[in-house]
Amino acid sequence: MYYKQYGDTDMKVSAIGMGTMRYNDTDVKAGNFAKCAEVVLYAHEKGINFFDSAPFYSDDKSEEITGLALSQLPRDSYYISSKVNLGTYDDKFSPDAFRQRLETSLSRLKVDYLDFYYLWCLLDLGSFEKQYDLMYSSFEKAKTEGLIRNITFSSHMQGNQLEEVINKDAFQGMLIGYNALNYRFRQSGISAAHKKGMGIVVMNPLGGGLIPNNPKVFNYLTEGTSLTVPQAALRFVASHKEITVALCGFTTKGHVDDAIKSVENLVEKPAADIYNEYESKGITLNNLCTGCAYCKYCPQEIDIPKFMDAYNQKILGKSIENRLKGHWDIPAAKAAECIKCGQCETLCTQHLPIMDRLDEIALIK
């Protein structure tokens, strides 16, 4: 395993981390937590020491499963995180509610402290300011009491917005979505965080499955390597000098082995060099929906994530209609029911023109 230093701290963390949101769904529903925990223990055996958890992952069982595994390991052999935001309190925040939520995570994970506690899922600066003003003092108090070691944040904002959060000098690290699809959007934020000595953890390094599901399109990532497209996409992220950890969700031990292979003999490069190298490769793909599904709460009950997935096919030179009919079995005409409320675009982590795309899809006969 390849290890990196987490920001300005003395923590050495694995370049590949385990995101604990993809435990086997059948086993989770059947209560086979010990079987799920085997994947965590295997990842640790293979050198992974960074584990990322949160409330609600895996039918709200992720923290319990992860804790079952980690309780079998020496506490100084791994780093564990969890997350919190106003949504975890149904928007009814109080310092007592914060403490209760934190203690629940600690109990489930079977630890006395979290190495990282994230102010979770910041979509825009307005959301950040509101939650920061309400909650940050509670983070500080918990840190003073030794319940958390590092105050961190998780965000889907673009680079210039990330800079504003980073310049608060309030956080030791950040978690962002970053991959070969959206790397243009995050450069300034990554640079700012690195200069501040922050650890940078990356989620969604495979573009929500879009990269491995289109191997021909992304084959350019494998040039000069013997890696598969998913492995090369992971290596793309991990090779950034500024990035500390690339998170992967594992369901099987085979997934662990595949991910670890991506960082064998890793060579780190500055993000600016990687940016310049890849600008001349592949095609411009930043307009592809990465499938985060934050836009799915449509008042007209339009299944927007599925329509945006179908629109991806146009960008990839394929048929929107075939995707809608053959894969999703939904009519293009449903897109015409959009009332232009704009809620989906407000929630979109990539700020895509969803309403315009729905209009275009609605014209398909």
At 294, the amino acid letter reads Y
The encoded tokens of residue 202 equal 């990356």
| CA gap 325, 340 in Å, rounded | 24
Q: Which of the four CATH numbers 3.40.50.1000, 1.10.1040.10, 3.40.50.2300, 3.20.20.100 does domain 3-278 have?
A: 3.20.20.100
Query: CB–CB of 63/55 below 8 Å?
Result: yes
AA letter at 324? L
pLDDT-derived band at 297 (thresholds 50, 70, 90) equals: confident
The answer to whether the CB of 168 falls within 8 A of the CB of 125 is no
Contact assessment for residue 29 and residue 59, using Cβ atoms and an 8 Å cutoff: yes
Helix (H, G, I), strand (E, B) or coil at 153: strand
Q: Mean pLDDT of all residues in the chain? A: 91
pLDDT in tens, 261-271: 999 999 999 98
pLDDT tens digits for range 194-229: 999 999 999 989 987 888 888 888 898 998 899 999
Parallel, antiparallel, or unpaired: how do β-strands 3-5 and 12-14 relate? Answer: antiparallel
Round to whole Å and give the CA distance between 364 and 351.
Answer: 24
CB-based contacts of 289: which residues, under 8 Å, 6+ apart?
210, 305, 308, 309, 311, 312, 350, 352
Contact predicate 178/190, CB 8 Å: yes
Report field, pTM of the whole predicted structure over 0.85: no
- CATH 3.20.20.100 placement within the chain: 3-278
Return the SS3 of 240.
strand
